[in-house]
Amino acid sequence: MTNMLKSFFKTLTLSTPSIYSVAYKQNKSKLRHLTAVFFGSGVVLYSLQKNEARMANINSKSHNFMAEPITSWDVLSSREDDMKTKMELFIMKVQADFCRSLEAEEESDKKFIVDRWERKVGGGGITCILQDGQTYEKAGVNISVVHGTLPASAVQQMRARGKKFRSDKLPFYAAGVSSVIHPRNPMVPTVHFNYRYFEVTDDDGSTQWWFGGGTDLTPYYLNEADVVHFHRTLKEACDKHDDSYYPKFKKWCDDYFFITHRGERRGVGGIFFDDIDLPAQNKVFEFVKSCANAVIPSYVPLVKKHKNDGYGYHERQWQLLRRGRYVEFNLIYDRGTKFGLATPEARYESILMSLPLTARWEYMHAPEPGTEEAKLMEVLRNPKDWVKI
Amino acid sequence: MTNMLKSFFKTLTLSTPSIYSVAYKQNKSKLRHLTAVFFGSGVVLYSLQKNEARMANINSKSHNFMAEPITSWDVLSSREDDMKTKMELFIMKVQADFCRSLEAEEESDKKFIVDRWERKVGGGGITCILQDGQTYEKAGVNISVVHGTLPASAVQQMRARGKKFRSDKLPFYAAGVSSVIHPRNPMVPTVHFNYRYFEVTDDDGSTQWWFGGGTDLTPYYLNEADVVHFHRTLKEACDKHDDSYYPKFKKWCDDYFFITHRGERRGVGGIFFDDIDLPAQNKVFEFVKSCANAVIPSYVPLVKKHKNDGYGYHERQWQLLRRGRYVEFNLIYDRGTKFGLATPEARYESILMSLPLTARWEYMHAPEPGTEEAKLMEVLRNPKDWVKI
> Across the interface, do A362 and B327 touch by the CB < 8 Å criterion?
no
pLDDT(B21) > 70 = no
| pTM (2 d.p.) | 0.86
Q: Does A363 contact B129 at a Cβ distance shorter than 8 Å?
A: yes
Determine the pLDDT at residue A389. Answer: 63
B364 CB within 8 Å of a chain A CB: yes
Mean pLDDT of chain B: 87
Report strand pairing: A358-360 vs B358-360.
antiparallel
**What pLDDT was estimated at residue B146?**
95
Q: Does B359 touch chain A (CB under 8 A)?
A: yes
Q: Say what the pLDDT of residue A216 is.
A: 98
Q: Is the pLDDT of residue A42 over 80?
A: no
- Contacting residues of A for B364, CB less than 8 Å apart: 115, 349
Look over chain A and give the mean of its residue pLDDT values, rounded to a whole number: 87
Q: Are B192 and B215 in contact (CB under 8 A)?
A: yes
Q: Which DSSP letter does residue B189 get?
A: P
**Which of B16-25, B50-59, B274-283 has the highest mean predicted lDDT (pLDDT)?**
B274-283
pLDDT digits (tens, 9 = 90+) for A193-207: 999 999 999 999 999
Q: Among A48-62, A268-282, A304-318, which stretch is predicted with the lowest mean pLDDT?
A: A48-62
The answer to whether residue B33 scores a pLDDT higher than 60 is no
Q: Could you give the CA distance from residue B230 to residue B226 in angstroms, rounded to a whole number? A: 6
Q: What is the pLDDT of residue B389?
A: 63
- Per-residue pLDDT at A374: 98
The contacts of residue B285 (CB under 8 Å, 6+ apart) are B83, B86, B87, B90, B197, B211
For B258, phi then psi, to 5°, come to -115, 125
With bands split at pLDDT 50, 70 and 90, how would you rate the model's confidence at B63? low
Model pLDDT, residue B42: 31
Percent of chain A with pLDDT over 90: 75
Residues 6 or more apart from B246 whose CB is under 8 A from it? B234, B235, B238, B239, B271, B387, B389
CA A219 vs CA A293, A302, B309: distances in Å: 21, 10, 40
Residue among B262, B328, B346 whose CB faces A261 most closely: B346
Higher-pLDDT residue of B56, A248: A248
**Displacement of CA A237 from its chain's centroid (Å):** 18
Runs of H (alpha helix) within chain B: 3-14, 17-39, 43-48, 52-55, 73-78, 83-103, 152-160, 224-239, 245-256, 281-293, 295-306, 313-328, 335-342, 348-351, 372-381
List the catalytic residue out of B182, B192, B229, B306: B192
Interface subset of A 305-324, CB within 8 angstroms of B: 320, 324
d(CA B36, CA B87): 34
pLDDT, tens digit, for every residue of B68-97? Answer: 999 999 999 999 999 999 999 999 999 999
Q: What is the mean pLDDT of residues A33-40?
A: 30
Nearest to B217 by CA among B260, B264, B181: B181
Distance CA B346, CA B363 (A): 33
| pLDDT tens digits for range A6-34 | 333 333 332 223 323 333 333 333 333 33
pLDDT in tens, A219-258: 999 999 999 999 999 999 999 999 999 999 999 999 999 9
How high is the pLDDT of residue B157? 84
Predicted local confidence at residue A388, as pLDDT:
80
Residue B339 pLDDT: 82
Residue B36 predicted with pLDDT over 60: no
* B218-244 pLDDT tens trace: 999 999 999 999 999 999 999 999 999
Provide the pLDDT for residue B151. Answer: 82
Select which of A192, A229, A241, A306 is catalytic: A192
| B320 chain-A contacts, CB cut-off 8 A | 358
Convert the pLDDT of each residue in B96-141 to its tens digit: 999 999 999 999 999 999 999 999 989 999 999 999 999 999 999 9
Residue A95 pLDDT > 70, yes or no? yes
Q: Looking at residue A63, what is its pLDDT? A: 64
What pLDDT is recorded for position A35?
Answer: 29
B36's CB contacts (< 8 A; 6+ apart) are B44
> Which range has the worst mean pLDDT, A361-375, B45-59, B280-294?
B45-59
Tell me which of A199-208, A265-274, B338-347 is least confident.
B338-347
What's the DSSP call for residue B130?
E
**Statement: residue A94 has pLDDT above 50:** yes
- Calculate what percentage of chain B has a pLDDT beyond 90: 75
The tens digit of pLDDT for each residue in B106-116 reads 999 999 999 99
pLDDT band at A348 (very low <50, low <70, confident <90, very high): very high
CA distance A202 to A380: 42
pLDDT top residue among A268 and B7: A268
Residue A97 confidence (pLDDT) above 50: yes
A327–chain B Cβ distance below 8 A for any pair:
yes
- Residue B31 pLDDT > 70: no
Lowest mean pLDDT among A22-26, A155-159, B316-320: A22-26
Task: Please give the full DSSP string across A13-29, using - where no structure is assigned.
Answer: HHS-HHHHHHHHHHHHH
Q: Is A59 near chain B, with CB under 8 Å?
A: no
| Contact assignment for A363 to B328 by CB distance below 8 Å | no
Please indicate whether residue A15 or residue A285 has the higher confidence score (pLDDT): A285
- With CA atoms as reference, the chain B residue closest to A361 would be B357
Model pLDDT, residue B297: 98
Q: Does A69 touch chain B (CB under 8 A)?
A: no
Q: Is the pLDDT of residue B263 over 80?
A: yes
| Helix B281-293, helix B83-103: angle, nearest 10 | 10
Counted across chains A and B, CB pairs separated by less than 8 A come out at 77
Cβ <8 Å between A363 and B346: no
Q: Which residues contact A5 (CB under 8 A, 6 or more apart)?
A: A31, A47, A48
Task: State yes or no: is A63 an active-site residue.
Answer: no
Evaluate if residue B60 carries a pLDDT over 90. no
The lowest-confidence range among A123-132, A189-198, A340-349, B88-97 is A340-349
Contact B261 A327 (CB under 8 A): no
Contact A125, A145 (CB under 8 A): yes
Among chain B residues, the shortest Cα distance to A132 is held by B362
